[in-house]
Structure 1
Amino acid sequence: EEYTLLLFEDIRRELLIINLIKKESRLIFFIASYLGGIILAKALVNAGNEYLPLKRAIDSIIFLITPF
């Protein structure tokens, strides 16, 4: 649970910095393997409305050998 919150919080902070400095938005591409895929999937499911802009910025997700 803690890792899922840290993941999205760090990404949201980086996107805010990019948007403020470069005045542009970025698409996000995730490549997640095994445990990283589980953490990413949980983060996506548990993300609240405060992470909605981040979720909208996600263009693609590739899960490699992630056991679902």
Structure 2
Amino acid sequence: MTAEKVSVALLTRAAFGAGPAVTYAELAGLPTGLIEEVLARPVGCVREFTPMMLVQGDRRAAPRNADF
């Protein structure tokens, strides 16, 4: 459950900024130290993991002329 809450906090930061993300994290019951550490990271340095701890694949559409 903590990973999902952190993911929602990161999505909230991306959509509305750090303030609402911290507010969400507090209301969700996330430890203050954890959310401060995660939100302090630059956006490009945060990866989202699946429940099996695998990095999410690139969801962008492949070019139409891709050879695979």
- Aligning the two structures, in what range does the TM-score lie when normalised by the shorter sequence? 0.3 to 0.5
Whichever structure has more strand as a proportion of its residues is: 1
Larger Rg: 2
- What is the TM-score when the length of structure 1 is the normalising length? 0.34
Q: Which has the higher contact order (CA 8 A, sep 6+)?
A: 1
